Structure 1
Amino acid sequence: MAGASATLLLPAARRFGAQALSATAAQALGRADASGGLGDGRRAQLLRHLQPIPNHWPIAALTRQLDAGDAAGAAWLRADPCRVQPDINGARLLGLGETLGLTAEDAAQLLPALRPLFGDAGFPIDAPVAARWYLRLPREAKVPAFTEPDDALGTDLFDHLAEGSEGRRWRSLLSEAQVVLHNHPWNARRAESGRTPVNSLWFWGAGVLPDHVRSPHAAFCSGDDTAAAIAAAAGIRRPLPARFEPIEDDAVFDLTGARDLSALEQAWLQPALAALRRGELRVLRIDTEDGAAFDLARGQRWRFWRRPRTGFGV
């Protein structure tokens, strides 16, 4: 394992709030080689490690292939079930997909009411997974730019509606789908049982399968559906273990869901630093959603003059 390397993908620094690193971790991070400006956001972070060829971002096709294995031959668009809350200034996206606690029964009850609408438009809808709904499009379909849900959660829905002549068609389809879902008796039953109603759809991720996905890594470990789908296309998908353990010559561990810095240190950062000190790792790289990276190596322990870092900002 002496030549092995590991990369930890972390969320943006703000996700940890006022939490600070322990003295040991802060010292190691302060002595690391730091770089910034690598591109912020989840998409830019993943593209540093997984590159679809040709260069595009067809998440719907990639997750469809993972979910159903039939993505070839068509373009795909995610039409994920979501909850939109009207307010005085418009309407906000408050929940989507798995956060709504959807079951196969929910999909079986709601989808038949939507099939005539999208079928007549030439975009059949189905849900191989209860929380991920798909529209099958012709390969040559021209689709406007849609906002990814992570960029829209909590914000005004109207700031993210598709624009232009193609966008007009999709705005109309969305309005009709919202009426269908609002009037559906199954949503009333969900509300009566204390569950969140599904009152809208979120369109995103359009595209066709890439020819292949390139990566410099031997393994990509993630519990995130989007990352797992891209890594599966690259042939390097692995489950995310409960704590750090070097498993390949060059492995990535996707920890962007972490919010408790102390728990992250105990399960991941401290064991990885210990492996580095023992010479089991050649380099440990920390890559954040802010576009900052830190390369830690065993020889950096002699950099006594470096000041500790209390967080992951550059």
Structure 2
Amino acid sequence: MARLTLLLPATARFAGHPLPPALAQALGRADRGQSDAGESAQLARHLTLLPLGWPAAALTRLLDAGEDDARQGAWLRADPAHVRPDINGARLLGVGATVGMDQADVDALLPALRPLFGDAGVQLDAPHPARWYLRLSAGTPMPMFSSPDEALGDDVFDHAPRGEAARRWRALESEVQITLHNHPHNAARLASGRVPINSLWFWGGGALPDAVSTTHPTVFSDDPAVRGAARLGKLQDMPLPASLESEVDALVDLRGQRDGRGLIERWLLPAVGSGEVTLDFADGVMFTLRPGQRWRLWRRPLSALPA
């Protein structure tokens, strides 16, 4: 029997969107559970990394530069970012792909920043315009950094790294901001209607895992870290398609999808009746659908997804 797992945004994303009758009936008869909320917990339920953790920088480095390169030391993402000061502090309004990076930006800004990190004993490079990396020695102490998804729209000071290990990174961040503030390329970006690159966002630190496993042979995702993990596990990694054929055995990563109605119509409803299906929501709500559940005639259809 085909087994399909859909990784979905939190159920709040579906608020106000009615469930089609077939889906409402299937969810009403499904097995329901509650697991830990949050992106890390959601991914860990279906992708087992050894050692445990989610070193996003190392996983995306594998995708961008290959496993041999990614095995060389530890990695930290240092993505181009736009921070806007306001009356209460400064807000992170864009990181990486969301600030419209291209190779011309890399060619202009990277040479100005490399000496800052070279003096600190780390190497900065950018194999992808939106994904910049710091190569660190194995075992380099790193504080906890917030991912862009956690910090976007928030005051950057609420996500500043803390502790003794964070001191050097705060100092480097200040030097980066001074260098970028004075760089003439940002004037060219403004003239072309783009926001200036005035910071780097550090996140995703760690070394490449020894192994990755999952119960599915195929992983569909637009998340470079998820695709890197799939590739490390020798799984078939594919970008997210417009839709899936029925009877497919796969892990489908839909966490980045914003349209609740579209998710219902294009993914959840077609999944009904396609073998064993697990719906895993980012807030920990889970449903497992199996063909035999159609005989649970006493269960009422679900009127809406739990908020």
TM-score normalised by L of structure 2: 0.95
1:307–1:247 CA distance, 2 compared to 1 (3 A): closer
**2: CA distance between counterparts of 1:215 and 1:68?**
23
1:306 to 291, 299, 302: 299
2:9 to 8, 11, 14: 11
Partner of 2:288: 295
CA offset at residue 246 of structure 1?
Answer: 4.0
Partner of 1:137: 136
Conservation of the 8 A alpha-carbon contact between 1:13 and 1:311: no
Q: Deviations over 1:267-301 (max 9, x none)?
A: 2222221xx2xxxx431111111111101111222
**1: CA distance between counterparts of 2:218 and 2:159?**
35
Partner of 1:65: 62
**1: CA distance between counterparts of 2:108 and 2:137?**
26
Conservation of the 8 A alpha-carbon contact between 1:21 and 1:262: no
Residue correspondences, number: 304
CA offset at residue 230 of structure 1?
Answer: 1.5
1:214–1:108 CA distance, 2 compared to 1 (3 A): same
Partner of 1:161: 160
**2: CA distance between counterparts of 1:56 and 1:296?**
29
Conservation of the 8 A alpha-carbon contact between 2:13 and 2:260: no
What amino acid is aligned across from residue 250 of structure 2 in structure 1?
A
Conservation of the 8 A alpha-carbon contact between 1:190 and 1:197: yes
What amino acid is aligned across from residue 307 of structure 1 in structure 2?
R
Q: Deviations over 1:42-74 (max 9, x none)?
A: 121111111110112211111111101111121
1:257–1:56 CA distance, 2 compared to 1 (3 A): closer
Partner of 2:78: 79
Structure 1 stretches of 4+ with a deviation exceeding 6 A read none
Between stretches 11-20 and 42-51, larger displacement belongs to: 11-20
What amino acid is aligned across from residue 308 of structure 1 in structure 2?
P
Q: Deviations over 1:128-171 (max 9, x none)?
A: 00000000101121111111111111111011111122211110
What amino acid is aligned across from residue 196 of structure 2 in structure 1?
P
3-state SS of 1:201 partner:
strand
What amino acid is aligned across from residue 96 of structure 1 in structure 2?
V
Partner of 1:45: 42
CA offset at residue 121 of structure 1?
Answer: 0.3
CA offset at residue 247 of structure 1?
Answer: 6.6
**1: CA distance between counterparts of 2:174 and 2:70?**
27
CA offset at residue 101 of structure 1?
Answer: 1.2
Identity of aligned residues (%): 54
Q: Deviations over 1:70-123 (max 9, x none)?
A: 111211100011111111111111111111111011111111110110011011
CA offset at residue 196 of structure 1?
Answer: 1.4
Unaligned regions of 5+ residues in structure 1, if any? none
Conservation of the 8 A alpha-carbon contact between 2:73 and 2:207: yes
CA offset at residue 183 of structure 1?
Answer: 1.0
Say yes or no: does 1:29 pair with 2:32: no
3-state SS of 2:70 partner:
coil
**2: CA distance between counterparts of 1:149 and 1:45?**
17
TM-score normalised by L of structure 1: 0.92
CA offset at residue 266 of structure 1?
Answer: 2.8
CA offset at residue 305 of structure 1?
Answer: 2.5
Say yes or no: does 1:269 pair with 2:262: no
Conservation of the 8 A alpha-carbon contact between 2:14 and 2:305: no
Partner of 2:243: 243
